[in-house]
Amino acid sequence: MTESTMKAPKKALRPVKWMRENLFSGWFNTVLTLGVAYMLVTSVGPLLNWFFLDANFVGADASDCTGAGACWLFISQRLNFFIYGFYPDELQWRVDAMFLLLAVSFVPQFIERFPGRKWLGLFGIFGLPVVGYFLIPGGAFGLEEVQSSKWGGLMLTLILAYIGIVASLPIGILLALGRRSEMPIIRGICVVFIEVWRAVPLITVLFMASVMLPLFLPEGVNFEKLARALIGITLWQSAYMAEVIRGGLQAIPRGQYEAADALGLGYWRKMGLVILPQALKMVIPGIVNTFISLFKDTTLVLIIGLFDILGTVQSTVTDPAWQNVAIEGYVFVAFCFWVFCFGISRYSQNLERKLDTGHKT
Amino acid sequence: MKKQTIDTRPAGPKPWYDPRVRSLFFQAIAIALVFWGGWVLVDNTLSNMESRGISTGFGFLNETAGFGIIMNLVPYDATMSYGRTFWVGLTNTLLVSAMGVVAATILGFIIGVARLSSNWLVAKMALVYIEVIRNIPLLLQIFFWYFAVLSNLPSPRQSVDVGGALFLNNRGLYLPEPMTQEGFGIVWGGILLAIAAVVGIRIWAKKRQLATGQIFPTFKVGVAILVLVPIVSYLVAGRPIEWDLPALRGFNFGGGITIIPELAALWIALSLYTASFIAEIVRSGILSVSKGQTEASKALGLPNGLTLRLVVIPQAMRVIIPPLTSQYLNLVKNSSLATAIGYPDLVAVFMGTTLNQTGQAVEVVAITMAVYLTISLLISLFMNIYNRAVAIKER
C-alpha cells in the first residue's frame, strides 16, 4: 500500500479532539489544566453559596440577615442613599429624568442603524449639560434649589465623570494644537502645562484644588467644594486629553495639511474643517479609554470629603447597626463600576474595529 | 532709449498678514497673559495669606512635628522636625512603589503569557482576571483588601503561627529579623567575589564563543557560584547572623520585622491592579513579533527556549517598554492613594498631617508636586535609556 492510498486517520469525537488539543496536549498542559480546574471547583462552590444560596434578600433590617451568606438586604435598604446621596426624596424625579436622558442619548450608540443616533449623541454632549445645569441644582424655572453638598452617590460619580470629560475636551484640543504649533513659546507653555499635570497624582491635584484654590482667588470669590474638585479634575484630565488628541493630529498625513494650505485656508479653518474632523474621529477610542480611567478615578473625591458612590458605601459599612457588611458593599460598588467600564470598553473596541479602514501602515 | 526696469515682484504682505509678524505678536500676547495670570495668582495668594495670618517661606520645616508615624524607614520620633516627616513619607512612598513595580511586573508577565497559552482553560482564566481587575477602581480594591480582608484576620492572641517564627494577625505580618554579627564582613566579601567571578566568566565565555564557536554554560555555572560562594563564606565566618524572632508581649507582638496591614493592602492592590494592565501590554508585545521570525529561528535549528530568549523576547521588548514605562509611572502616582487607608506615604504624612498642622499649603503642595514630577522624570529617563539600548539599531 503506497502512501497515497492510506486511509484517512480515524476521526476522534469532536469534543474529545478539542479537549485533547486545547487542554491535554502534553504533560505540562495536563498538569496545568488539572490544577486550574481543581482551584475553580473548590472556590466556585463556596462563592456561589455566599452570593446566592445562603444569601439574604428580603427583610427590613440587620436582624433579618440570618443566613451564612451575603446580606444583600443591606444594599437594597440603602440603595436610595447609594444612588442619590442626600438629595431630597420628593425631588429625586429630577435626577431620574437626567438618568433617563443620559440613557436615551447614549444607549442607542451601541445599536447600529438606530435612527438619528448621531443627533442623540450630539444632544448628549452639548444639550445634556445645559439641561442638567438647570435641572439638578434647581433654583430657576420655579424648581426648588438643592445645595451641591446634598448631592451624592452614583449620581455624583456620573456628574463628576461627565463634566470632567465634556469640559476637558475643548481645553485638550487647544492644548494639543498648541503643542503642535510652530511658535516656540506657545509650544513651550503647552508642553510644560501638559507634562506637569500628567506627572502628578490626581490626589495631589484634588488636595491642591481644595486647600490652595481658595488662596489663589481674590477675596470674596469662593467656590463650593464640588466646583473646586471639578476644576481640579478638568485641568488634570485636559492634559491627558491633549495627549490623546495629539496622537490623532500626528496620524494625519502631511498631504492633508499641505492640501488645506494650498486651498488658501487660514489656520483655524484648516484645523477646524480639514484636520480636526479626521483627527478626532480617529481618536474616539482613545477618548473613550481616558473616559473609563477618569470614571474610575472619580472615586478619589471621597478623600477630600465628597460622597460619591464609594464614599456613600464606605460611610455606611461602618454603621454599627449592620455587622460586617463591608464585603457586600464593596461587591456592589465593584459591580456598578464593572458594568459601566466593561460596557464602554467593549463599545470602544467595537468602534476601533469599525473605524479601522486598513490604512494604517 | 533708457532701459526701464519694472519691479514685477509683488509688494510684501502687509505687516498684519505676515506670518512671522503674526507669530511674534501672538507669542508676545501669550507671554504677557502667562505673566499677568501668574502675577494675579501670586498677588491674590500673598494678600490672602496675609489676611489669614499665614507666614510664607520654608522655615516651618525646622519646627518640631510632634506627631507619631506608624512606619518609618529613616529614624523618626515625634520630637523631630517637619522636614524629617518629609523624608519619612518619601521613603515610604518609594518603598511601596518599588515593591509594587517588582510584583506587578512579575505577575503581569506571567498573566500576559498565560493569556496566550495554548491551554484553553488557562487563557480564559487570564482573560477573566484582566477584564475583572482593570474595570474596578483601584481605591475600591485597596479598601477591599484593607477593610474587608486584612481587618478580618484573627487578633494578635489568635495569630496564625508558622513555625513559631512567622505570625499573621490583623495588626500585620511579623517576620524574624536577621541581625548581622561580627565577622559578617567576610560574607559581604564572598558575595562581591561571586559577582565579580560571574562577570569575568561571562566576558571570557563570550570571547571564547566568538573565537571558537564553543558554548560555555554560563548561566548554570553563574547560578552555582552565586549560591555556593556566599554560603561557604557564611559557614567559614562562623554563621554571623542571629535571628530576632517576633514574640507576643502583652497585647501585641514585639521584635522582628513588621509588615503593617496598610502596607500589605496597598501593595497587594497596587500589584494586582497594575499587573492586569501590564499583562495586556505583554500580550500585545508578544503578538507583535511576526510568525516569520519564530519560523526563521526554527529553520536555523534553534531550540524553543533559545528562540524565545534570543528572537521573540528582544523584539517584543521594543513594543513593551514604552507603555510599560507609563504603567510604572501610574503605579508610583497611584501609591498616593495610601492616604485613604492611612499608610504613611508622602501625601498622607506631608500633604496631610504636616499641611494641616502648619497651614503652609502653598509650600507643602509645591514640594509634594515637585517630588512626583522628579520621580516621573527620573523613571522616564531610565526607561528611555533602556529603551534606546533595546531599540532597533539602524545602520
pLDDT digits (tens, 9 = 90+) for A258-294: 999 999 888 889 999 999 988 888 888 888 888 898 9
Contacts of B227 (CB under 8 A, 6+ apart): none
Query: Among all chains, which residue has been given the C-alpha cell 447614549?
Result: A106
Asked if B23's CB is within 8 angstroms of A183's CB, the reply is yes
**Residue B134 or residue A88, greater confidence:** B134
A15-39 mean pLDDT: 81
Beta carbons within 10 angstroms of residue A81's beta carbon: 17
Q: A–B: how many Cβ contacts below 8 A? A: 144
Test the A interface: residue of B17, B40, B45, B121 with most A CBs within 10 Å = B121
pLDDT value of position A361: 39
Of B45, B121, B140, the CB nearest to A334: B140
- Paired with A153 in beta bridges are A308
Which chain B residue lies closest to A25 (C-alpha atoms)?
B119
C-alpha distance from A290 to closest chain B C-alpha (Å): 13
Name residues of chain B where pLDDT drops below 50. Answer: none
Cβ pair B137:A212 closer than 8 A: no
Taking only residues 99 to 138 of chain B, the set having a beta carbon closer than 8 angstroms to any beta carbon of chain A reads 117-122, 125, 131-132, 135-138
Residues of A in contact with B376 (CB under 8 A): 198-199
The whole-number average pLDDT for the span A72-83 is 80
- Find the residue in B nearest to A184 (Cα): B27
- How far apart are alpha carbons B167 and B177 in whole angstroms? 13
Q: What is the pLDDT of residue A358?
A: 55
Instruction: Please state, in angstroms and as integers, the Cα–Cα distance from residue B204 to each residue in B192, B199, B357, following that order.
Output: 18, 9, 61
Q: How far is A127 from chain B (nearest CA, A)?
A: 28
Mark yes or no for CB contact A216/B120 under 8 Å.
Answer: no
Q: 3-state SS of chain A: helix, strand, coil percent to 5? A: 75, 0, 25
Element at B243 (helix H, strand E): strand B241-244
> What residues of chain B lie within 8 A of the CB of A314, using their CB?
143
Mean pLDDT, rounded, for A50-72: 74
Report the run of H or E that residue B166 belongs to, with start and end.
Answer: strand B166-169
Indicate whether A58 pLDDT > 80. no
CA quadruple B284, B286, B290, B295: dihedral, nearest 10: -160
Q: How much is the average pLDDT of A32-44?
A: 87
CA angle B202, B208, B214 (to 5 degrees): 105
Task: Pick the residue from chain B with its C-alpha nearest to A325.
Answer: B148
Q: How far apart are CA A168 and CA A154, in angstroms?
A: 21
Nearest by CB to residue A330, choosing from B31, B120, B144, is: B144
Q: Best mutation site among A36, A306, A330 for testing chain B: the one with the most B CBs within 10 Å? A: A330
Reported pTM: 0.85
Between CA B185 and CA A173 the distance in angstroms is: 60
**What pLDDT is stored for residue B139 in this prediction?**
93
> Minimal Cα distance from A324: which residue of B?
B148
Task: Spell out a b/e string for A165-194, using b for 16 or more CB atoms within 10 Å of the CB, else e.
Answer: bbbbbebbbebbbbbbbeeebbebbbeebb
What does the pLDDT read at residue B10? Answer: 65
What is the reported pLDDT for A234?
93
CA distance A250 to chain B (A): 18
pLDDT at residue A360 in the model: 46
Query: Using the beta-carbon criterion (under 8 Å), do A32 and B377 form an inter-chain contact?
Result: no
Q: Is A296–B355 a contact, with Cβ atoms under 8 angstroms apart? A: no
User: Which pLDDT tens digit goes with each residue over A204-241?
Assistant: 899 888 888 888 877 777 778 888 899 999 999 999 99
The shortest C-alpha distance from B76 to chain A (Å) reads: 24
Report how far apart, in Å, the C-alpha atoms of A7 and of each of A4, A16, A17 are: 9, 21, 19
